[in-house]
Amino acid sequence: MLVPEGFARAELGGQANWFMEATGEPGFSYSVPLGIVRYGLSEDWELRMGARFAQQLGDLQSTMVGAKYRLPGGFWGGVDACWLVELPINPAEGISLTGDLPMTHRLCLARALGQLGSVTANAGWARDSGVSTWMASAAFSRTLGNQGWSGFVEPFVFTAQPLRVNLGVQRTVDDSWMMDFVYGRNVQTGDVQMGFGVSFTLAGGEE
């Protein structure tokens, strides 16, 4: 769940959204590109920086800095457990250390299910402008064949929002490259989100 110490990894992609406006008219939006750069600071710490562009390349919507920490102790057993903290930054407003600082916290769990499957789970909250939101998700994945493909299903639950379910496939090209495609649907409203992504190692020494 963490980038190895001394390695840097980039995750790039985009997403498109089809939804219903409050007026009853169909709406559409997209974000390209979305990106995160992760760096393995140590065996237990990872630093993260990210950015999201909305509607067109060059229109920076938001940025993010954060860190991920592997939780110690034998309490988790065979589960890999990490705590993720991210600080979203509005490029137009910058960072203000006074008042209510926006922040996201999330517990991340992962466990292998035999040789071919795995399960990951996330639970946490975000706070911005004095408003807190909660989320939880669980992803179940399984290897498909022997060409590096795997498939997954991932239900999401958000504060005061209906259940969303993601279906997707991903392929590991080699030890350094991976690509994925995701289709998500809100089970109540029918809103649809589609995404794609690639991740690759930027730099690193011998493990």
pLDDT in tens, 69-89: 999 876 777 899 999 999 988
The ranges assigned to domains in the chain are 8-203
For the ranges 2-11, 31-40, 90-99, 185-194, which has the lowest average pLDDT? Answer: 90-99
Model confidence, pTM:
0.85
Q: What is the pLDDT of residues 30-61, one digit of tens each?
A: 888 889 999 999 999 999 999 988 765 557 87
134 C-beta neighbours (distance < 10 Å), count: 12
Sign of the Cα pseudo-torsion (68, 87, 195, 161, in order): positive
Kindly state which CATH superfamily the domain 8-203 is placed in: monomeric porin ompg (2.40.160.40)
| Residues 96, 89: Cα–Cα separation, whole Å | 9
Confidence of residue 207 (pLDDT cuts 50, 70, 90): very low
Q: Rounded mean pLDDT of 84-98?
A: 77
CA 200, CA 192: separation in Å to the nearest integer? 27
